[in-house]
Structure 1
Amino acid sequence: MTRFEHGIPLDESSGRAPSGVSRLPRSAGSSALERDPGMPSSTWRLRSDAWESLRFAVKRLALDGEDAEALASDSEIHRNLRALETMEMYWAGFGQRYVRGIGELLEAGDYRIALDRIGRVVNRLRGDTVPDEPRDEHLDEQERAELAADADPRPHFEVLVVDETTPADRDAMRSEALRLRGAADAFVYEFVVVPSADDAVAAVLTNPNILACVVRPGFSDRTRQRLSRDLVETIRLARSQVSTGHTSERSSLASVQRVLGLADTLAAIRPELDLYLMAGAHIEDLAGALTRRFRRVFRREDQLELHLSLLRRVSHLYDTPFFSAIQDHARRPVGVFHALPIARGGSVVNSKWIRDLVDFYGLNLLLAETSATSGGLDSLLAPTGAIKKAQDLAARAFGAKHSFFVTNGTSTANKIVHQALVGPGDVVLVDRNCHKSHHHAMMLTGGRAAYLEAYPLNDFAFYGAVPLDRIKQLLLDYRAAGRLDEVRMVTLTNCTFDGIVYDPERVMAECLAIKPDLVFLWDEAWFAFAAFHPVTRRRTAMASAKNLEERLRTSAHAAAHRAQQQRLYDADGTPAADEVWLEERLIPSPDARIRVYATHSTHKTLTALRQGSMIHVYDQDWVREAEEPFHEAFMTHTSTSPNYQILASLDLGRRQVELEGFNLVQRQLDLATSLSQSIARHPLLRRTYRVLTANELIPAGHRETRRPMPLRDGLASMWQAWAADEFVIDPSRVTVEITRTGVDGDTFKHEHLMNRYGIQVNKTSRNTVLFMTNIGTTRSAIAYLIEVLVKLAERFEEDRAQLDPELAQAALAAEAPMPPLPDFSAFAPGYDAPGLPDGDVRTAFFRGQQRRHIEHVPPGELRERVDRGEQPVSAGFVTPYPPGFPVLVPGQIITAEVLDFMAVLDTREIHGYDPRRGYRVLRAE
């Protein structure tokens, strides 16, 4: 009996995936390849591994003359063929018929021809050049043309066609596409043809090469493919997230509704897809109703117009206006009578002493350097040309109303947003554990920080995220004190350094139900990639803002809001007790304003040069309230000599994620889950390391689902967790607990990973190491990391075995226990607000800059003062880096808990603390 996993058949008796993840056939004199220890792979990996596995097995038949057992009905070869016949429906090129043809060749004993055919597919998947003249006489003209096209160097993409067609119709469609293809076309596309709405959803979920979709009304609703339970459930979830449905398929209205439902589903899953409708009769009537969903509506005979539309639209995605302007500038002969001697290589190419600069970086870098803002290059401070267009394209890509490039990092981006939106005396609810730039921004703007406490993870020496009920309670406290009007903004980090992700739509909705004009700043420094995956996208600030805006417009939302108001207020308009507000999932007024800002360290998770960042805006009051102050703040913090190469890299990075972001992010998530599974399943690794999951990183009260690693169980499980849980874990991050190694995180990072094996990691805690995958991570890199972890585990086990038991016990007893993570204590009198937590960081900071008002106190003496009952006050920020959030801020009372935590902190870099002189403390007046 056969069952299916991720769209492929699995052998029921063994539970092993046939497509490259199970044990491959054993060849003479070599050991079998081990089962992939990672997650049940996604389709991109299953497909590639299945073809590779099939090639390996058939090669043995063709060259080694093995017996017919390899062709038994339950053999590896047949399981791979069955899996590939399912998967190839959703990919362009060779297709299901090609797979069936290989099976027929094998049954006939034509192993060498079958091997040749399989090799062509493997070459295509690897990106290798395929011969222009296929030698296989069994190929028909259509297949020969497709194989010849593989050698075409132009970028390829795929177009999904949803229609119930015959094989002859599909051949005719592909032939017509080949006929229309011209030498002047910048791109080449191929068709993926599926018969049903289910298959269309499966295709866009599994095939990232699809960039456009043509819907023909003749499609059916349900698939006839035998799909996995996971894929079936994911399709159900995807189709249930849109409101458009259908009733009877016999009426014309139902037919239109069916088309609309599919279009809405596809747009929700992959908003970067272009949707086209190809209909027969009455397209004039349909065009008005369908314009919002489809880019254009065609009649079936308008193949040329469709062809041109597909190419033109991809050219818009491919467009990089500022990078193109830089290239044009570099090619032009110019005379430089301006700043920047390095421009055009003037001070370098004829130098006897720094010629290695151009040798190392290349001449193009120097040719592209300029201080000019004319000649097509534009000004970052007042863009009207290439930079303006590049930023508009970024807004489209990230789902924002406006986007802005920042060339000196997200620290500056955060300060720009704060200065634009916050003034002296405004209260900002801010996560105490957010990046230090937010705290510095409070000092610069004069806003009053009301610090929110994240839940602590004391066992691992870092913080989680701020529970929603704490945010709501603080807003209610300000309302009770009559100061709610002073609360201006909520600032949170999504996702945190350690990968804990909020549900921004829920947070914003419930906060707006208490104060409908709140502004939100989401620091998504580590989350830029999330906009390009169907599941992670819904938890980005921009997607959440859009969803919330659309929800507030519906009559159903208005009715629900009216009903809830009757529970939240008494007949005389008095608010119910706080407990009622905390227990309810609050529904904001339809009149609430959606004012959302997000900052991205684009360079951290997408392709961009270091310090390349973006600010994204989804603000309904942009023109009235924010545009002018934002531009003033932008000019305040942005250099008048921005780095053009950073700007060009942001432009290119945007192009990349619009065209292949889904593919890259899906691989990133898969590889991270594969790493975590490798550690969990390897006998030696699991004795030495422990991967922390949602069970350890998120308290049970903040999770409705109970899967510790949802993506490991399939896309549907991840989808459900990310839809329901208050907090989820970014699966691209793997936090490994290393207590059993016997070394602390900093030593593990520097002495073992980096110095010995060249593996770079960013963050550690006392007993954890954080491994982050990104869109540049490869399977080889994961394999190398696993290899290194095994070698280190062997070393640690050997060291433990050689250690004298008495000495080991003494060392363990002498080791200082990790104290609890310190909460924010309080602002000192004079900087505080009695009864509420906000404080005046600005006044304390500038007082702390004056020598006459400060003293340096060593840790031991400071602890003695605290033990005597004194309340020393910090004169500045004290910030361990990474992760970069302050343990102390100006004006904060220094407590024993803070000093205990600092005493055992193993971070080598602590900003604002001089170990020779001690802490900077404000003198008592």
Structure 2
Amino acid sequence: MTRTDPAVTEELASGGSAARITRASLHAGPSHGTPSGTADRPITRGAATLERDPGMPSSTWRLRSDAWEYLRYSVKRLALGGDSGEEAEALLAADGEIQRSLRALETIEMYWAGYGQRYVRTVGELLEAGDYRGALDRIGRVVNRLRGTTVPEEPRDEFTEEQDRLELATEADPRPRFEVLVVDETELADRDELRQEVLKMRSPADSFIYEYVVVPSADDAVAAVLTNPNILAVVVRPGFSDRTRQKLSRDLLETIELARSEVAPGRAPARSSLASVQRVLGLAETLAAVRPELDLYLMAGAHIEDLAGALTRRFRRVFRREDQLELHLSLLRRVSHLYDTPFFSAIQDHARRPVGVFHALPVARGGSVVTSKWIKDLADFYGLNLLLAETSATSGGLDSLLAPVRTLKKAQELAARAYGAKHTFFVTNGTSTANKIVHQALMAPNEIVLVDRNCHKSHHHAVMLTGARPAYLEAYPLDEFAFYGAVPLSRIKQLLLDYRAAGRLDEVRMITLTNCTFDGIVYDPERVMAECLAIKPDLVFLWDEAWFAFGAFHPVTRRRTAMASAKRLEERLATAAHAAAYRAQQERLFPADGAPAPDEVWLEERLLPAPSARIRVYATQSTHKTLTALRQGSMIHVYDQDWKREAEEPFHEAYMTHTSTSPNYQILSSLDIGRRQVELEGYDLVQQQLDLATSLAQAISRHPLLRRTFRVLSAHDLIPEEHRGTGRPMPLRDGLAEMWRAWASDEFVIDPSRITIEISRTGVDGDTFKHEHLMDRYGIQVNKTSRNTVLFMTNIGTSRSAIAYLIEVLVKLAERFEEEQAQRDPDIPLPDPADMPPLPDFSAFSPEFTTDGVRPDGDMRAAFFRGQRRTAVEHVRPEELRARVDAGELPVSAGFVTPYPPGFPVLVPGQVITAEVLDFMAVLDTREIHGYDPQRGYRILRSSARDAAADRTLEA
């Protein structure tokens, strides 16, 4: 028998190099930890120091399963291979991967329920003693449970026989399970007693099952909530230490330090004379910042009444140690609140009730389907429940979307809690409508809205409908890849300063930006809002987060969501430290004469808003794009300090305007149950999503054939150097701590779940690659391409098998393209990407639609409605239009021209058409262009003189 080849191991056992890399980033050698205690002793002889392998971040969901799978594969060979004892022992000593797996698992199992460190040590001791079958039996238990559930139920060695029986009795229990973290430096006997109490308190009437994870220190508590997404609650006992005694990787230790040092401003622990109380509060604040969905409980002994008064703000309840039953009931009840789906449950109840339909919808209850001779296959395909749940009723336990008072109202309140909003509203016809609702609610005719030039077309349409005047903000172009980036903060500040200098700042009402962009470029909303509010303290913000709904459910991505940023900013403005810093900065910005300092000073400073600035933030999210919801299921989240005074009534009017009186209840119920999912397992799913995307990028970058054909674009390609801070091309690939630092400091970052690959060396354009190669040949669906790039997006439904299939397909395509290149006629050159014209900026509104001829805002609505009059427009073919432009004419677009995807207009009504726009459109490879007629060409406004002549002709 010979040592297993790593490539074979990876293929057969899902371990190998991928497991080795992730294992290194959780567990490290002695130089990365503080050795003490029995947890640090080696399990087997000859275990080599585990060195960090630069690559994958710590991904415990995969690390854990891969390590156990690898052990099962390797130990099975030892147990069934027929080698002599000496040969098997030599093989065991030679296989360093077994040693590394055991050492890594001894660390990681501390942070998960179900096994424990002693279980791992026992496996190592069995291997050391040559009892390979005994070790294989124990490993097999773990693997079987991990394949069936992420919260396994396995007897522990330290359990008594009675406990074993209790555990085995619940092995097949189908109830949902979760884990509870206990922070307390207890002896092993006390931990065993805790687990015994949990088992004994279980009742058949309980809806859920939970198990304790016990850690001794604050460091370990943070490590546990970072690595174990099954933890839904934390019980803190004051008797814990501060630092871990585990050997953790440098990455995880640095992440713990970042988490503990970054409690949000304004959330500092309340003052207390007791050091123990301060330590408890500090840990509570850190855990709440990392995982706000966690419920925190304090279990204390003496002075519980005094502690309750000091700690109520952060802890849900304070218990005495003997109140185990009350704690048990509280844990189950709280999870039942997260599990509650009021509207989905109401729909289920309605479907089960016998009713008579004397209303609309013949399809309701299947009435027009199940008795039909011709369309019974509708029920066969979709299922009868879909028809039973179809209704137009708003009573009988259901609710009205336009005036919710019961189940829908509660469902939206639960969604607001999950996403960190003050108010949340469900939308059943997509984020396009959500954007129009917010614009109409907040904007009035002739008010100015600063608009990202490259935002989704729905914003441009909304501006036209409201009569607001858009002042377009230019994103930095990525000409090499034929798409835009994001709008630099300096440009936003400069435009606000320009309006202030013109005496028109009071006309500016709102700013809308896309966070994150289609290509994954993410703003720092807290910084953007803070610096803009420093110039205009009552500015309203609309963040289009159509592709970023998942961001709220990961401790790193959450910080850049609109709602989390609004909350942090509100808390920061309320602190004394901020007030002092603001006063100091004002002295620099407004010298002794009272006039503002030059714009250069304002642009160079990181501006601080006045403590009295108003936090008015709205976010629209396409829940269906990145989380579980049926198509067109979207949400509007509100964090508005002036909601009651300024926005509630106009918002409801706008909501009534754009919301159907016959909303789809299936979409609404999917939004409700999707909220349950993200509150209970969102962190787990998003963590997997990010890790899978990183593994895809790494596979392409490391595979010799793939990296010759494709290039993974990183932050260095997508973000100009002046807008990067940490300088790492793909921070998550370097570890969670690197990603944390980048997302905390850089002006722009890249969403790791999106992988953009450059395909110039394939010899085909993005549209051809998408349709003819990926979709038609292999059934791989992608949404976004550019002239020479393809965007792959992972989501919470992406699996490891899907990633493996994509890599397999890319290898086949790379082989195909290399063969074609080898057979290519050398006299026919490949298209040169440098020949692509630069991306066009927004030219300008025609002078007749501008406000003052100086600032960039214009009356787009007037241009739009003029363009609706047939006599006011003409159609011009591209070649003729180009000739007019070359001759010095300034043709004006009569409507929107929008390539889709990505869905932002290249031309808007009233915009001057330039040579740059025509050059860009001439090489555009998008098959679907809204507002452009390939037969008749561009629709442009006639000149005013010709328009007046046409009017006189009609009058005559």
TM value normalised by structure 2? 0.92
Partner of residue 858 from structure 1, selected from 877, 886, 897: 877
CA contact (8 A) 2:158 2:192 kept: no
Alpha-carbon distance in 2 for matches of 1:131, 1:634: 46
Please list every run of 5 or more consecutive structure 1 residues that lacks an aligned counterpart in the other structure.
13-34
Q: Deviation digits for residues 535-583 of structure 1, max 9, x if unmatched? A: 0000000000000000000000000000000000022321110000000
SS of the equivalent of 1:570 reads coil
CA contact (8 A) 1:113 1:136 kept: no
Partner of residue 910 from structure 1, selected from 922, 929, 938: 929
| Aligned position for 1:423 | 444
Q: Deviation digits for residues 747-767 of structure 1, max 9, x if unmatched? A: 000000000000000000000
SS of the equivalent of 2:379 reads helix
**Mapping for residues 279-298 of structure 1, pairs under 5 Å:** 279-298=300-319
Distance 1:666 1:485, change over 3 A: same
Identity level (%):
82
Alpha-carbon distance in 2 for matches of 1:591, 1:143: 61
CA contact (8 A) 1:746 1:906 kept: yes
Offset of 1:114 from its aligned partner?
1.4
Alpha-carbon distance in 1 for matches of 2:110, 2:231: 13
Offset of 1:8 from its aligned partner?
2.0
Alpha-carbon distance in 2 for matches of 1:37, 1:594: 42
* 2:867 is the alignment partner of 1:848: yes
SS of the equivalent of 1:521 reads strand
In angstroms, what is the RMSD of aligned CA positions? 2.2
* 2:294 is the alignment partner of 1:273: yes
SS of the equivalent of 1:97 reads helix
Offset of 1:113 from its aligned partner?
1.8
* 2:923 is the alignment partner of 1:889: no
Alpha-carbon distance in 2 for matches of 1:630, 1:40: 43
Alpha-carbon distance in 2 for matches of 1:65, 1:620: 73
Greater displacement, 891-900 / 108-117: 108-117
Amino acid at match of 2:866: R
CA contact (8 A) 1:594 1:620 kept: yes
| Aligned position for 1:361 | 382
* 2:743 is the alignment partner of 1:722: yes
Alpha-carbon distance in 1 for matches of 2:195, 2:914: 73
Greater displacement, 561-570 / 58-67: 58-67
| Aligned position for 1:378 | 399
CA contact (8 A) 2:119 2:157 kept: no
Alpha-carbon distance in 2 for matches of 1:246, 1:651: 34
SS of the equivalent of 1:839 reads coil
Distance 1:278 1:135, change over 3 A: closer
Alpha-carbon distance in 2 for matches of 1:818, 1:178: 67
Alpha-carbon distance in 1 for matches of 2:30, 2:764: 43
Amino acid at match of 1:889: V
Distance 1:741 1:910, change over 3 A: same
Alpha-carbon distance in 1 for matches of 2:638, 2:329: 33
Alpha-carbon distance in 2 for matches of 1:149, 1:354: 46
| Aligned position for 1:46 | 63
Distance 1:558 1:518, change over 3 A: same
Offset of 1:128 from its aligned partner?
6.5
| Aligned position for 1:773 | 794
Offset of 1:141 from its aligned partner?
4.2
| Aligned position for 1:820 | 838
| Aligned position for 2:525 | 504
Q: Deviation digits for residues 677-725 of structure 1, max 9, x if unmatched? A: 0000000000000000000000010111011000000000000000000
Q: Deviation digits for residues 137-170 of structure 1, max 9, x if unmatched? A: 9985434533443321000000000000111001
Amino acid at match of 2:56: M
| Aligned position for 2:8 | none
Distance 1:179 1:3, change over 3 A: closer
SS of the equivalent of 1:489 reads strand
Amino acid at match of 1:609: L
Alpha-carbon distance in 1 for matches of 2:477, 2:837: 12
Please list every run of 5 or more consecutive structure 2 residues that lacks an aligned counterpart in the other structure.
1-20, 32-51, 945-956
Distance 1:247 1:466, change over 3 A: closer
| Aligned position for 2:163 | 142
Partner of residue 202 from structure 1, selected from 223, 226, 237: 223
Offset of 1:99 from its aligned partner?
0.7
Alpha-carbon distance in 2 for matches of 1:138, 1:376: 48
* 2:858 is the alignment partner of 1:839: yes
Alpha-carbon distance in 1 for matches of 2:168, 2:675: 31
* 2:938 is the alignment partner of 1:901: no
Partner of residue 758 from structure 2, selected from 733, 737, 741: 737
| Aligned position for 1:70 | 91
Alpha-carbon distance in 2 for matches of 1:911, 1:37: 46
Partner of residue 233 from structure 2, selected from 196, 208, 212: 212
| Aligned position for 1:21 | none
SS of the equivalent of 1:608 reads coil
Alpha-carbon distance in 2 for matches of 1:613, 1:734: 24
Offset of 1:213 from its aligned partner?
0.1
Offset of 1:4 from its aligned partner?
7.7
SS of the equivalent of 2:795 reads coil
| Aligned position for 2:352 | 331
| Aligned position for 1:755 | 776
| Aligned position for 1:396 | 417
CA contact (8 A) 1:93 1:146 kept: no
CA contact (8 A) 2:151 2:178 kept: no
SS of the equivalent of 2:679 reads helix
SS of the equivalent of 2:510 reads strand
* 2:848 is the alignment partner of 1:830: yes
**Mapping for residues 633-644 of structure 1, pairs under 5 Å:** 633-644=654-665
Alpha-carbon distance in 2 for matches of 1:404, 1:364: 26
Alpha-carbon distance in 1 for matches of 2:142, 2:152: 12
| Aligned position for 1:19 | none
Amino acid at match of 1:600: Q
Distance 1:458 1:579, change over 3 A: same
SS of the equivalent of 1:557 reads helix
Offset of 1:62 from its aligned partner?
1.1
Offset of 1:108 from its aligned partner?
2.1
| Aligned position for 2:49 | none
Q: Deviation digits for residues 16-69 of structure 1, max 9, x if unmatched? A: xxxxxxxxxxxxxxxxxxx99972451111111000001111111111134212
CA contact (8 A) 2:759 2:789 kept: yes
Partner of residue 569 from structure 1, selected from 584, 590, 596: 590
Alpha-carbon distance in 1 for matches of 2:620, 2:358: 37
Distance 1:10 1:786, change over 3 A: farther
| Aligned position for 1:447 | 468
CA contact (8 A) 2:181 2:221 kept: yes
Amino acid at match of 2:538: D
Distance 1:857 1:10, change over 3 A: farther
Partner of residue 182 from structure 1, selected from 203, 224, 228: 203
Alpha-carbon distance in 2 for matches of 1:134, 1:895: 74
Alpha-carbon distance in 2 for matches of 1:131, 1:824: 57
Alpha-carbon distance in 1 for matches of 2:573, 2:203: 48
Alpha-carbon distance in 2 for matches of 1:11, 1:222: 16
SS of the equivalent of 2:836 reads coil
Q: Deviation digits for residues 235-293 of structure 1, max 9, x if unmatched? A: 00000002688999xx9611100000000000000000000000001110111111110
SS of the equivalent of 2:847 reads coil
CA contact (8 A) 1:132 1:148 kept: no
* 2:631 is the alignment partner of 1:610: yes
Distance 1:611 1:3, change over 3 A: closer
CA contact (8 A) 1:594 1:619 kept: yes
Amino acid at match of 1:56: Y
Distance 1:651 1:128, change over 3 A: closer
CA contact (8 A) 1:3 1:9 kept: no
CA contact (8 A) 1:38 1:674 kept: no
